[in-house]
Chains A and B, each alone.
Chain A
Amino acid sequence: MKGFLAVYLREMLIIWHRLPRMLLSFSISPALYLVAFGFGLGKHMTVGGRPYLEFLVPGLIAASSMTQGFGINVEINVARFYFRVFEEIQAAPVSNLAYVLGEILSGVTRALLSVVVILLITHLAGVKLSYGLPLWLGVLLNAFVFSALGVASAMIIKSHADQALITNLIITPMAFLGGTFFPVENMPHLVQIMLKALPLTHASHLIRQAAYGRGLILNSLVILCILALGGLLLAYWSVDKAKD
Protein backbone atom coordinates (compact mmCIF):
# COMPACT_ATOMS: atom_id res chain seq x y z
CA MET A 1 0.00 0.00 0.00
CA LYS A 2 2.85 2.39 0.85
CA GLY A 3 4.47 1.50 -2.46
CA PHE A 4 1.31 2.50 -4.27
CA LEU A 5 1.20 5.75 -2.26
CA ALA A 6 4.85 6.46 -3.04
CA VAL A 7 4.34 6.02 -6.78
CA TYR A 8 1.20 8.17 -6.72
CA LEU A 9 2.68 10.84 -4.46
CA ARG A 10 5.76 11.12 -6.67
CA GLU A 11 3.60 11.89 -9.71
CA MET A 12 1.49 14.32 -7.69
CA LEU A 13 4.57 16.20 -6.49
CA ILE A 14 5.74 16.50 -10.09
CA ILE A 15 2.31 17.84 -11.09
CA TRP A 16 2.39 20.24 -8.12
CA HIS A 17 5.76 21.67 -9.19
CA ARG A 18 4.49 22.10 -12.76
CA LEU A 19 0.88 23.02 -12.05
CA PRO A 20 0.65 26.47 -13.69
CA ARG A 21 2.34 25.18 -16.87
CA MET A 22 0.17 22.05 -16.91
CA LEU A 23 -3.09 23.95 -16.48
CA LEU A 24 -2.11 26.28 -19.30
CA SER A 25 -1.27 23.30 -21.49
CA PHE A 26 -4.55 21.54 -20.57
CA SER A 27 -6.57 24.60 -21.55
CA ILE A 28 -5.06 25.36 -24.96
CA SER A 29 -6.39 22.44 -27.04
CA PRO A 30 -9.98 22.52 -25.76
CA ALA A 31 -10.05 26.29 -26.04
CA LEU A 32 -8.90 26.07 -29.66
CA TYR A 33 -11.45 23.37 -30.49
CA LEU A 34 -14.20 25.42 -28.86
CA VAL A 35 -13.25 28.50 -30.81
CA ALA A 36 -12.71 26.73 -34.14
CA PHE A 37 -15.47 24.12 -34.12
CA GLY A 38 -17.85 25.44 -31.52
CA PHE A 39 -18.00 29.18 -32.14
CA GLY A 40 -16.56 29.24 -35.64
CA LEU A 41 -17.99 26.33 -37.62
CA GLY A 42 -20.82 25.24 -35.37
CA LYS A 43 -22.33 28.46 -34.07
CA HIS A 44 -25.62 27.98 -35.93
CA MET A 45 -25.53 24.17 -36.13
CA THR A 46 -27.64 21.77 -34.10
CA VAL A 47 -27.15 18.07 -33.44
CA GLY A 48 -30.17 16.06 -32.34
CA GLY A 49 -32.05 19.28 -31.69
CA ARG A 50 -29.35 20.72 -29.41
CA PRO A 51 -26.78 23.47 -30.14
CA TYR A 52 -23.57 22.00 -31.53
CA LEU A 53 -21.60 23.40 -28.58
CA GLU A 54 -23.59 21.18 -26.21
CA PHE A 55 -22.73 18.23 -28.42
CA LEU A 56 -19.08 19.20 -28.65
CA VAL A 57 -18.27 19.83 -24.99
CA PRO A 58 -18.94 16.26 -23.71
CA GLY A 59 -16.88 14.97 -26.66
CA LEU A 60 -14.01 17.24 -25.68
CA ILE A 61 -14.30 16.00 -22.09
CA ALA A 62 -14.05 12.40 -23.29
CA ALA A 63 -11.16 13.13 -25.67
CA SER A 64 -9.25 15.18 -23.12
CA SER A 65 -9.64 12.60 -20.33
CA MET A 66 -8.38 10.03 -22.83
CA THR A 67 -5.31 11.98 -23.96
CA GLN A 68 -4.34 13.15 -20.47
CA GLY A 69 -4.90 9.70 -18.97
CA PHE A 70 -2.88 8.05 -21.72
CA GLY A 71 -0.34 10.88 -21.35
CA ILE A 72 0.94 9.28 -18.15
CA ASN A 73 3.03 7.18 -20.55
CA VAL A 74 5.13 10.26 -21.34
CA GLU A 75 5.86 10.79 -17.63
CA ILE A 76 6.77 7.13 -17.21
CA ASN A 77 9.01 7.19 -20.26
CA VAL A 78 10.81 10.30 -19.10
CA ALA A 79 11.30 8.60 -15.73
CA ARG A 80 12.41 5.39 -17.43
CA PHE A 81 14.63 6.48 -20.30
CA TYR A 82 15.76 9.98 -19.33
CA PHE A 83 15.87 10.40 -15.54
CA ARG A 84 16.15 6.62 -14.87
CA VAL A 85 13.91 7.07 -11.82
CA PHE A 86 12.02 3.95 -12.85
CA GLU A 87 15.05 1.95 -11.71
CA GLU A 88 14.71 3.42 -8.23
CA ILE A 89 11.17 2.02 -8.16
CA GLN A 90 12.27 -1.31 -9.63
CA ALA A 91 14.92 -1.67 -6.93
CA ALA A 92 12.33 -1.02 -4.20
CA PRO A 93 10.12 -3.69 -2.58
CA VAL A 94 7.07 -2.53 -4.50
CA SER A 95 4.77 -5.06 -6.15
CA ASN A 96 3.88 -4.70 -9.82
CA LEU A 97 0.24 -4.16 -8.85
CA ALA A 98 1.10 -1.33 -6.45
CA TYR A 99 3.24 0.34 -9.12
CA VAL A 100 0.61 -0.01 -11.83
CA LEU A 101 -2.22 1.27 -9.60
CA GLY A 102 -0.11 4.25 -8.51
CA GLU A 103 0.62 5.24 -12.10
CA ILE A 104 -2.96 4.64 -13.30
CA LEU A 105 -4.35 6.78 -10.51
CA SER A 106 -1.85 9.50 -11.47
CA GLY A 107 -3.16 9.34 -15.04
CA VAL A 108 -6.73 9.54 -13.78
CA THR A 109 -5.84 12.59 -11.66
CA ARG A 110 -4.28 14.33 -14.66
CA ALA A 111 -7.38 13.54 -16.69
CA LEU A 112 -9.68 14.93 -13.99
CA LEU A 113 -7.64 18.13 -13.85
CA SER A 114 -7.93 18.57 -17.61
CA VAL A 115 -11.71 18.02 -17.44
CA VAL A 116 -12.05 20.63 -14.69
CA VAL A 117 -10.19 23.09 -16.93
CA ILE A 118 -12.57 22.35 -19.85
CA LEU A 119 -15.62 22.74 -17.66
CA LEU A 120 -14.36 26.08 -16.39
CA ILE A 121 -13.73 27.34 -19.92
CA THR A 122 -17.09 26.12 -21.24
CA HIS A 123 -18.89 27.52 -18.21
CA LEU A 124 -17.35 30.89 -18.96
CA ALA A 125 -18.50 30.44 -22.58
CA GLY A 126 -22.06 30.02 -21.33
CA VAL A 127 -22.54 26.30 -22.00
CA LYS A 128 -24.84 24.72 -19.43
CA LEU A 129 -24.85 20.92 -19.05
CA SER A 130 -25.56 18.43 -16.31
CA TYR A 131 -22.35 17.86 -14.35
CA GLY A 132 -23.69 15.24 -11.94
CA LEU A 133 -22.32 11.93 -10.74
CA PRO A 134 -23.02 9.98 -13.99
CA LEU A 135 -20.78 12.36 -15.95
CA TRP A 136 -17.92 12.00 -13.46
CA LEU A 137 -18.31 8.22 -13.40
CA GLY A 138 -17.97 8.19 -17.18
CA VAL A 139 -14.91 10.43 -17.02
CA LEU A 140 -13.30 8.28 -14.31
CA LEU A 141 -13.86 5.07 -16.24
CA ASN A 142 -12.57 6.54 -19.48
CA ALA A 143 -9.50 7.98 -17.73
CA PHE A 144 -8.84 4.66 -16.01
CA VAL A 145 -9.03 2.71 -19.29
CA PHE A 146 -6.60 4.99 -21.09
CA SER A 147 -4.26 5.47 -18.13
CA ALA A 148 -3.96 1.70 -17.86
CA LEU A 149 -3.24 1.48 -21.60
CA GLY A 150 -0.72 4.31 -21.21
CA VAL A 151 1.11 2.43 -18.44
CA ALA A 152 1.11 -0.77 -20.50
CA SER A 153 2.44 0.96 -23.60
CA ALA A 154 5.15 2.72 -21.56
CA MET A 155 6.35 -0.63 -20.23
CA ILE A 156 6.34 -2.45 -23.55
CA ILE A 157 8.09 0.10 -25.76
CA LYS A 158 11.87 0.11 -26.04
CA SER A 159 12.52 3.80 -26.67
CA HIS A 160 10.94 7.20 -26.18
CA ALA A 161 10.50 7.60 -29.94
CA ASP A 162 8.22 4.54 -30.11
CA GLN A 163 5.81 6.25 -27.75
CA ALA A 164 5.15 9.12 -30.14
CA LEU A 165 4.40 6.54 -32.84
CA ILE A 166 1.73 4.86 -30.68
CA THR A 167 0.16 8.23 -29.85
CA ASN A 168 0.11 9.30 -33.49
CA LEU A 169 -1.24 5.97 -34.76
CA ILE A 170 -3.88 5.28 -32.12
CA ILE A 171 -4.71 8.14 -29.79
CA THR A 172 -4.84 11.09 -32.22
CA PRO A 173 -7.09 9.32 -34.77
CA MET A 174 -9.34 8.10 -31.95
CA ALA A 175 -9.67 11.64 -30.59
CA PHE A 176 -11.11 12.72 -33.94
CA LEU A 177 -13.13 9.62 -34.84
CA GLY A 178 -14.46 8.48 -31.46
CA GLY A 179 -17.59 10.63 -31.38
CA THR A 180 -15.87 13.81 -30.23
CA PHE A 181 -16.75 16.20 -33.05
CA PHE A 182 -19.58 14.46 -34.94
CA PRO A 183 -22.23 11.82 -34.27
CA VAL A 184 -20.87 8.43 -35.25
CA GLU A 185 -24.39 7.59 -36.49
CA ASN A 186 -23.85 10.03 -39.41
CA MET A 187 -21.22 7.71 -40.90
CA PRO A 188 -21.93 4.89 -43.39
CA HIS A 189 -22.93 1.64 -41.70
CA LEU A 190 -19.58 -0.14 -42.14
CA VAL A 191 -17.64 2.84 -40.77
CA GLN A 192 -20.08 3.02 -37.87
CA ILE A 193 -19.28 -0.58 -36.94
CA MET A 194 -15.57 0.24 -36.94
CA LEU A 195 -15.98 3.44 -34.95
CA LYS A 196 -18.22 1.76 -32.39
CA ALA A 197 -15.37 -0.66 -31.67
CA LEU A 198 -13.31 2.26 -30.33
CA PRO A 199 -13.30 2.69 -26.54
CA LEU A 200 -13.57 6.47 -26.93
CA THR A 201 -16.83 6.16 -28.87
CA HIS A 202 -18.41 4.47 -25.86
CA ALA A 203 -16.88 7.00 -23.46
CA SER A 204 -18.14 9.93 -25.58
CA HIS A 205 -21.59 8.37 -25.74
CA LEU A 206 -21.69 7.68 -22.01
CA ILE A 207 -20.41 11.13 -21.03
CA ARG A 208 -22.64 12.94 -23.53
CA GLN A 209 -25.81 11.24 -22.37
CA ALA A 210 -24.84 11.97 -18.76
CA ALA A 211 -24.15 15.61 -19.66
CA TYR A 212 -27.61 15.79 -21.25
CA GLY A 213 -29.06 14.64 -17.93
CA ARG A 214 -30.14 11.25 -19.30
CA GLY A 215 -28.22 9.18 -16.73
CA LEU A 216 -25.88 6.29 -17.51
CA ILE A 217 -25.99 4.17 -20.66
CA LEU A 218 -25.70 0.60 -19.43
CA ASN A 219 -24.10 -0.89 -22.58
CA SER A 220 -21.31 1.67 -22.69
CA LEU A 221 -20.83 1.45 -18.93
CA VAL A 222 -20.35 -2.33 -19.06
CA ILE A 223 -17.97 -2.08 -22.03
CA LEU A 224 -15.84 0.54 -20.29
CA CYS A 225 -15.77 -1.53 -17.08
CA ILE A 226 -14.54 -4.55 -19.04
CA LEU A 227 -11.95 -2.42 -20.82
CA ALA A 228 -10.79 -0.97 -17.49
CA LEU A 229 -10.25 -4.44 -16.07
CA GLY A 230 -8.51 -5.56 -19.28
CA GLY A 231 -6.29 -2.47 -19.23
CA LEU A 232 -5.34 -3.10 -15.61
CA LEU A 233 -4.40 -6.71 -16.35
CA LEU A 234 -2.41 -5.69 -19.42
CA ALA A 235 -0.53 -3.01 -17.47
CA TYR A 236 0.18 -5.45 -14.63
CA TRP A 237 1.48 -8.08 -17.04
CA SER A 238 3.64 -5.59 -18.91
CA VAL A 239 5.69 -4.31 -15.94
CA ASP A 240 8.09 -7.25 -16.03
CA LYS A 241 8.64 -6.60 -19.76
CA ALA A 242 10.49 -3.41 -18.81
CA LYS A 243 13.29 -5.42 -17.18
CA ASP A 244 16.31 -6.30 -19.29
Chain B
Amino acid sequence: MARLAIRVENLTKRYGSIEALKGINFEIAAGELFALLGPNGAGKTTTIRILSGLTRTSGGQAYFFDLNIFERPLEAKKMAGLVPQTINLDLELTVWENLLIHGLLFGLSRREIREQAERLLRFAELYERRKHKVRTLSGGLRRRLLITRALMHEPRILFLDEPTVGLDPHIRRRLWALIKRIQQQGTTILLTTHYIEEAEFLADRVAFIDQGEIVVIDTPESLMKRLGEFALDIVSETGLETKYFQTRAEAERAMLELAKGDKSVTLRRVNLEDAFVYFIGKRV
Protein backbone atom coordinates (compact mmCIF):
# COMPACT_ATOMS: atom_id res chain seq x y z
CA MET B 1 0.00 0.00 0.00
CA ALA B 2 1.18 3.55 -0.72
CA ARG B 3 2.14 5.86 2.14
CA LEU B 4 -0.75 6.68 4.45
CA ALA B 5 -2.02 10.24 4.22
CA ILE B 6 -4.72 9.90 6.89
CA ARG B 7 -4.96 7.41 9.73
CA VAL B 8 -7.94 7.56 12.09
CA GLU B 9 -7.93 5.40 15.21
CA ASN B 10 -10.93 4.83 17.43
CA LEU B 11 -12.26 8.37 16.93
CA THR B 12 -15.20 9.24 19.17
CA LYS B 13 -17.42 12.25 19.65
CA ARG B 14 -20.10 12.77 22.24
CA TYR B 15 -22.56 15.65 22.47
CA GLY B 16 -23.96 15.17 25.96
CA SER B 17 -25.65 11.80 25.94
CA ILE B 18 -25.53 11.51 22.14
CA GLU B 19 -22.70 9.51 20.63
CA ALA B 20 -22.09 11.07 17.23
CA LEU B 21 -19.01 8.91 16.53
CA LYS B 22 -18.56 5.51 18.18
CA GLY B 23 -14.86 4.81 17.72
CA ILE B 24 -14.36 4.84 13.96
CA ASN B 25 -11.19 3.60 12.24
CA PHE B 26 -9.99 4.08 8.67
CA GLU B 27 -6.87 4.73 6.64
CA ILE B 28 -6.47 6.67 3.41
CA ALA B 29 -3.47 6.25 1.13
CA ALA B 30 -1.66 9.26 -0.30
CA GLY B 31 -3.33 10.36 -3.53
CA GLU B 32 -6.48 8.33 -2.86
CA LEU B 33 -10.02 9.67 -3.08
CA PHE B 34 -11.93 8.18 -0.18
CA ALA B 35 -15.66 8.76 0.29
CA LEU B 36 -17.66 8.61 3.50
CA LEU B 37 -21.17 7.72 2.50
CA GLY B 38 -24.10 7.72 4.84
CA PRO B 39 -27.54 9.10 5.64
CA ASN B 40 -28.03 12.46 7.36
CA GLY B 41 -26.73 12.39 10.92
CA ALA B 42 -24.48 9.39 10.28
CA GLY B 43 -21.32 11.20 11.46
CA LYS B 44 -19.77 12.21 8.13
CA THR B 45 -19.54 15.93 8.81
CA THR B 46 -18.50 15.40 12.43
CA THR B 47 -15.57 13.30 11.20
CA ILE B 48 -14.45 16.01 8.79
CA ARG B 49 -14.94 18.76 11.38
CA ILE B 50 -12.74 16.92 13.87
CA LEU B 51 -10.04 16.23 11.27
CA SER B 52 -10.01 19.85 10.14
CA GLY B 53 -9.79 21.24 13.68
CA LEU B 54 -13.28 22.74 13.95
CA THR B 55 -14.62 20.32 16.55
CA ARG B 56 -12.93 18.78 19.57
CA THR B 57 -12.71 15.01 19.67
CA SER B 58 -13.97 13.07 22.67
CA GLY B 59 -11.40 10.33 22.16
CA GLY B 60 -9.15 8.53 19.72
CA GLN B 61 -6.26 9.65 17.54
CA ALA B 62 -5.79 10.89 14.00
CA TYR B 63 -2.65 11.36 11.91
CA PHE B 64 -1.79 13.18 8.67
CA PHE B 65 1.34 11.58 7.21
CA ASP B 66 2.27 10.28 10.71
CA LEU B 67 1.75 13.71 12.31
CA ASN B 68 -0.60 13.55 15.30
CA ILE B 69 -3.15 16.24 14.47
CA PHE B 70 -4.33 16.69 18.05
CA GLU B 71 -0.82 17.18 19.42
CA ARG B 72 0.33 19.50 16.62
CA PRO B 73 -2.85 21.14 15.30
CA LEU B 74 -1.27 24.17 13.60
CA GLU B 75 1.09 21.98 11.54
CA ALA B 76 -1.77 19.64 10.67
CA LYS B 77 -3.93 22.54 9.52
CA LYS B 78 -1.21 23.66 7.09
CA MET B 79 -1.44 20.23 5.41
CA ALA B 80 -5.19 20.26 4.94
CA GLY B 81 -7.74 22.23 2.95
CA LEU B 82 -11.42 22.27 3.84
CA VAL B 83 -14.43 22.72 1.58
CA PRO B 84 -17.29 22.90 4.08
CA GLN B 85 -20.86 21.88 3.49
CA THR B 86 -22.12 25.40 4.24
CA ILE B 87 -20.73 28.09 1.95
CA ASN B 88 -18.57 30.20 4.26
CA LEU B 89 -17.18 32.77 1.86
CA ASP B 90 -17.11 36.46 2.70
CA LEU B 91 -20.01 37.57 0.53
CA GLU B 92 -19.18 41.26 0.90
CA LEU B 93 -15.65 40.77 -0.42
CA THR B 94 -14.58 40.07 -3.99
CA VAL B 95 -13.46 36.69 -5.27
CA TRP B 96 -9.84 37.89 -5.23
CA GLU B 97 -10.10 39.30 -1.70
CA ASN B 98 -11.43 35.98 -0.41
CA LEU B 99 -8.39 34.21 -1.83
CA LEU B 100 -6.07 36.92 -0.49
CA ILE B 101 -7.36 36.49 3.07
CA HIS B 102 -7.11 32.70 2.85
CA GLY B 103 -3.54 32.95 1.56
CA LEU B 104 -2.54 35.23 4.43
CA LEU B 105 -4.27 32.96 6.96
CA PHE B 106 -2.10 30.10 5.71
CA GLY B 107 1.09 32.16 5.77
CA LEU B 108 1.63 32.66 2.03
CA SER B 109 3.63 35.65 0.79
CA ARG B 110 1.95 38.32 -1.36
CA ARG B 111 3.76 36.94 -4.42
CA GLU B 112 2.68 33.36 -3.68
CA ILE B 113 -0.89 34.53 -3.19
CA ARG B 114 -0.92 36.37 -6.51
CA GLU B 115 0.57 33.45 -8.43
CA GLN B 116 -1.57 30.79 -6.77
CA ALA B 117 -4.79 32.79 -7.08
CA GLU B 118 -4.20 33.46 -10.79
CA ARG B 119 -3.36 29.82 -11.51
CA LEU B 120 -6.28 28.42 -9.53
CA LEU B 121 -8.84 30.91 -10.79
CA ARG B 122 -7.93 29.91 -14.34
CA PHE B 123 -7.99 26.23 -13.35
CA ALA B 124 -11.51 26.63 -11.92
CA GLU B 125 -12.61 28.91 -14.76
CA LEU B 126 -13.26 31.80 -12.38
CA TYR B 127 -10.55 34.22 -13.49
CA GLU B 128 -12.95 36.53 -15.30
CA ARG B 129 -14.95 36.86 -12.08
CA ARG B 130 -12.03 37.74 -9.81
CA LYS B 131 -13.18 41.32 -9.20
CA HIS B 132 -16.81 40.40 -8.62
CA LYS B 133 -18.27 40.43 -5.14
CA VAL B 134 -19.07 36.91 -4.02
CA ARG B 135 -22.70 37.80 -3.34
CA THR B 136 -23.18 38.28 -7.11
CA LEU B 137 -22.05 34.70 -7.90
CA SER B 138 -24.43 31.78 -8.47
CA GLY B 139 -24.47 28.78 -6.14
CA GLY B 140 -22.37 26.71 -8.53
CA LEU B 141 -19.72 29.43 -8.88
CA ARG B 142 -19.60 29.87 -5.11
CA ARG B 143 -18.98 26.13 -4.71
CA ARG B 144 -16.16 26.32 -7.26
CA LEU B 145 -14.69 29.28 -5.41
CA LEU B 146 -14.86 27.33 -2.13
CA ILE B 147 -12.79 24.56 -3.72
CA THR B 148 -10.40 27.09 -5.27
CA ARG B 149 -9.92 28.79 -1.92
CA ALA B 150 -9.18 25.50 -0.18
CA LEU B 151 -6.42 24.79 -2.72
CA MET B 152 -4.67 28.15 -2.29
CA HIS B 153 -2.04 26.84 0.16
CA GLU B 154 -1.49 23.64 -1.89
CA PRO B 155 -2.80 21.24 0.77
CA ARG B 156 -1.68 17.63 0.59
CA ILE B 157 -5.08 16.61 1.95
CA LEU B 158 -8.43 18.03 0.89
CA PHE B 159 -11.67 17.60 2.82
CA LEU B 160 -14.79 17.94 0.71
CA ASP B 161 -17.92 17.97 2.84
CA GLU B 162 -20.95 17.50 0.58
CA PRO B 163 -19.32 19.64 -2.13
CA THR B 164 -22.18 19.43 -4.61
CA VAL B 165 -25.18 19.60 -2.29
CA GLY B 166 -28.09 21.52 -3.77
CA LEU B 167 -26.55 21.97 -7.22
CA ASP B 168 -28.09 21.23 -10.60
CA PRO B 169 -26.91 17.95 -12.19
CA HIS B 170 -24.90 19.60 -14.99
CA ILE B 171 -23.08 21.86 -12.51
CA ARG B 172 -22.47 18.89 -10.25
CA ARG B 173 -20.78 17.06 -13.11
CA ARG B 174 -18.50 20.04 -13.78
CA LEU B 175 -17.47 19.96 -10.14
CA TRP B 176 -16.83 16.22 -10.36
CA ALA B 177 -14.43 16.87 -13.24
CA LEU B 178 -12.69 19.55 -11.17
CA ILE B 179 -12.37 17.19 -8.19
CA LYS B 180 -10.92 14.45 -10.41
CA ARG B 181 -8.37 16.89 -11.79
CA ILE B 182 -7.35 17.89 -8.26
CA GLN B 183 -6.84 14.24 -7.35
CA GLN B 184 -4.79 13.66 -10.50
CA GLN B 185 -2.40 16.33 -9.25
CA GLY B 186 -1.61 14.12 -6.24
CA THR B 187 -3.94 15.50 -3.57
CA THR B 188 -5.47 13.04 -1.11
CA ILE B 189 -9.20 13.65 -0.87
CA LEU B 190 -11.70 12.74 1.81
CA LEU B 191 -15.19 13.29 0.46
CA THR B 192 -18.47 13.07 2.30
CA THR B 193 -21.67 12.83 0.36
CA HIS B 194 -25.10 11.36 0.47
CA TYR B 195 -25.27 11.34 -3.33
CA ILE B 196 -24.39 7.72 -4.01
CA GLU B 197 -23.70 8.25 -7.70
CA GLU B 198 -21.16 10.91 -6.70
CA ALA B 199 -19.21 8.44 -4.59
CA GLU B 200 -19.52 5.78 -7.28
CA PHE B 201 -18.11 8.13 -9.92
CA LEU B 202 -15.36 9.75 -7.85
CA ALA B 203 -14.18 7.44 -5.11
CA ASP B 204 -11.36 4.90 -5.17
CA ARG B 205 -12.78 3.46 -1.96
CA VAL B 206 -15.90 4.17 0.06
CA ALA B 207 -16.84 3.73 3.69
CA PHE B 208 -20.51 3.32 4.55
CA ILE B 209 -21.14 5.08 7.85
CA ASP B 210 -24.32 4.94 9.87
CA GLN B 211 -25.19 6.11 13.39
CA GLY B 212 -21.55 6.95 14.15
CA GLU B 213 -20.17 3.59 13.04
CA ILE B 214 -18.37 2.52 9.90
CA VAL B 215 -20.25 -0.45 8.52
CA VAL B 216 -17.95 -1.47 5.66
CA ILE B 217 -14.98 -0.13 3.66
CA ASP B 218 -14.10 -1.27 0.15
CA THR B 219 -13.88 -0.15 -3.48
CA PRO B 220 -17.23 0.61 -5.13
CA GLU B 221 -16.66 -2.30 -7.55
CA SER B 222 -15.98 -4.81 -4.77
CA LEU B 223 -18.98 -3.66 -2.77
CA MET B 224 -21.24 -4.09 -5.78
CA LYS B 225 -19.73 -7.48 -6.66
CA ARG B 226 -20.56 -8.75 -3.20
CA LEU B 227 -24.22 -8.60 -4.28
CA GLY B 228 -23.83 -9.77 -7.88
CA GLU B 229 -23.75 -8.12 -11.28
CA PHE B 230 -27.44 -7.85 -12.14
CA ALA B 231 -30.50 -6.85 -10.17
CA LEU B 232 -34.22 -7.34 -10.56
CA ASP B 233 -36.49 -4.69 -9.07
CA ILE B 234 -39.80 -6.38 -8.33
CA VAL B 235 -42.75 -4.11 -7.61
CA SER B 236 -45.79 -5.74 -6.06
CA GLU B 237 -48.69 -4.70 -3.85
CA THR B 238 -46.46 -5.24 -0.81
CA GLY B 239 -43.72 -2.88 -2.06
CA LEU B 240 -40.36 -2.96 -3.82
CA GLU B 241 -38.05 -5.94 -3.53
CA THR B 242 -34.66 -6.29 -5.23
CA LYS B 243 -32.98 -9.60 -6.05
CA TYR B 244 -29.35 -9.96 -7.13
CA PHE B 245 -27.78 -12.36 -9.65
CA GLN B 246 -24.23 -13.17 -10.70
CA THR B 247 -25.06 -13.47 -14.44
CA ARG B 248 -27.49 -11.89 -16.85
CA ALA B 249 -28.82 -15.34 -17.84
CA GLU B 250 -29.82 -16.13 -14.24
CA ALA B 251 -31.51 -12.77 -13.91
CA GLU B 252 -33.43 -13.18 -17.17
CA ARG B 253 -34.66 -16.65 -16.17
CA ALA B 254 -35.93 -15.27 -12.88
CA MET B 255 -37.51 -12.34 -14.67
CA LEU B 256 -39.50 -14.65 -16.99
CA GLU B 257 -40.81 -16.61 -14.02
CA LEU B 258 -41.80 -13.49 -12.14
CA ALA B 259 -43.40 -11.86 -15.18
CA LYS B 260 -46.00 -14.67 -15.27
CA GLY B 261 -47.59 -13.18 -12.17
CA ASP B 262 -48.98 -9.67 -11.74
CA LYS B 263 -45.65 -8.18 -10.68
CA SER B 264 -43.74 -5.43 -12.45
CA VAL B 265 -40.13 -6.49 -12.95
CA THR B 266 -37.13 -4.42 -14.14
CA LEU B 267 -33.72 -5.83 -15.00
CA ARG B 268 -30.66 -3.61 -14.47
CA ARG B 269 -27.01 -3.66 -13.41
CA VAL B 270 -26.17 -3.59 -9.70
CA ASN B 271 -25.10 -0.11 -8.54
CA LEU B 272 -23.55 1.31 -5.40
CA GLU B 273 -26.96 2.25 -4.06
CA ASP B 274 -27.82 -1.46 -3.94
CA ALA B 275 -24.72 -2.07 -1.85
CA PHE B 276 -25.58 0.87 0.38
CA VAL B 277 -29.12 -0.35 0.95
CA TYR B 278 -27.85 -3.84 1.57
CA PHE B 279 -25.26 -2.78 4.16
CA ILE B 280 -27.03 0.12 5.78
CA GLY B 281 -30.52 -1.25 5.46
CA LYS B 282 -32.25 1.94 4.37
CA ARG B 283 -32.63 4.11 1.26
CA VAL B 284 -30.75 7.42 1.02
Q: List 13 extra interface pairs beyond A5-B104, A7-B105, A83-B90, CB under 8 A.
A: A2-B105, A3-B104, A3-B105, A9-B101, A17-B93, A87-B54, A88-B102, A90-B54, A91-B80, A91-B82, A92-B106, A93-B78, A244-B49
Identify B88's interface contact among A83, A95, A244, CB under 8 A: A83
A contacts, CB < 8 Å to B: 2-3, 5-7, 9-10, 13-14, 17-18, 83-85, 87-95, 243-244
Interface status of B193 (Cβ within 8 A of chain A): no
Q: Is the CB of A244 within 8 A of B104?
A: no
Cα distance, A6 to B109, chains bound together (Å): 11
Interface status of B248 (Cβ within 8 A of chain A): no
Q: Is the CB of B101 within 8 A of A6?
A: yes
User: Which residues in A have their C-beta under 8 angstroms from that of B107?
Assistant: 2-3, 93
Residue of chain A at shortest CB distance from B133: A17
CB distance from B98 to the nearest CB of A (A): 9
* Closest 10 pairs between A and B when the two form their complex, measured CB to CB: A6-B104, A84-B88, A92-B105, A93-B77, A93-B74, A6-B105, A91-B82, A10-B101, A93-B78, A2-B107
Q: Is the CB of A2 within 8 A of B104?
A: yes
How many residue pairs bridge A and B at CB < 8 Å?
79
User: Which residues in B have their C-beta under 8 angstroms from that of A10?
Assistant: 90, 93, 101
Q: Is the CB of A91 within 8 A of B53?
A: yes
Interface status of B31 (Cβ within 8 A of chain A): no
Q: 12 A-B contacts, Cβ less than 8 Å apart?
A: A2-B105, A3-B105, A10-B93, A17-B93, A87-B54, A88-B82, A88-B102, A93-B77, A93-B105, A93-B106, A95-B74, A244-B54
Cα distance, A204 to B63, chains bound together (Å): 53
User: Which residues in B have their C-beta under 8 angstroms from that of A93?
Assistant: 74-75, 77-78, 105-107
B contacts, CB < 8 Å to A: 15, 49, 52-56, 74-75, 77-78, 80, 82, 84, 86-93, 97, 100-102, 104-108, 133, 149
User: Which residues in B have their C-beta under 8 angstroms from that of A92?
Assistant: 77, 102, 105-106
Residue of chain B at shortest CB distance from A78: B92
Cα distance, A87 to B15, chains bound together (Å): 19
User: Which residues in A have their C-beta under 8 angstroms from that of B90?
Assistant: 10, 13-14, 83, 85
CB distance from B113 to the nearest CB of A (A): 10
Residue of chain B at shortest CB distance from A242: B54
Q: Is the CB of A244 within 8 A of B92?
A: no
Cα distance, A93 to B80, chains bound together (Å): 10
| Also in contact, A87 and B101, with CB within 8 A (given A13-B93, A92-B77, A93-B75) | no
Q: Is the CB of A84 within 8 A of B52?
A: no
Cα distance, A54 to B56, chains bound together (Å): 53
CB distance from B234 to the nearest CB of A (A): 45
Cα distance, A2 to B153, chains bound together (Å): 13
User: Which residues in B have their C-beta under 8 angstroms from that of A83?
Assistant: 88-91
Identify B56's interface contact among A7, A84, A85, A243, CB under 8 A: A243
Cα distance, A85 to B102, chains bound together (Å): 11
Identify B105's interface contact among A17, A88, A243, A244, CB under 8 A: A88
Q: Is the CB of A18 within 8 A of B106?
A: no
| Also in contact, A9 and B104, with CB within 8 A (given A14-B93, A84-B88) | yes
Q: Is the CB of B104 within 8 A of A85?
A: no
User: Which residues in A have their C-beta under 8 angstroms from that of B91?
Assistant: 83
Cα distance, A9 to B90, chains bound together (Å): 13
User: Which residues in A have their C-beta under 8 angstroms from that of B87?
Assistant: 84
| Also in contact, A13 and B54, with CB within 8 A (given A91-B82, A92-B105, A93-B107) | no
Q: Is the CB of B92 within 8 A of A94?
A: no
Residue of chain A at shortest CB distance from B81: A91
Identify A91's interface contact among B77, B93, B97, CB under 8 A: B77
Q: Is the CB of B104 within 8 A of A88?
A: no
Cα distance, A6 to B87, chains bound together (Å): 19
CB distance from B114 to the nearest CB of A (A): 15
CB distance from A189 to the nearest CB of B (A): 49
Cα distance, A90 to B52, chains bound together (Å): 9
Residue of chain B at shortest CB distance from A17: B92
Residue of chain A at shortest CB distance from B55: A244
User: Which residues in B have their C-beta under 8 angstroms from that of A13?
Assistant: 90, 93, 97, 101
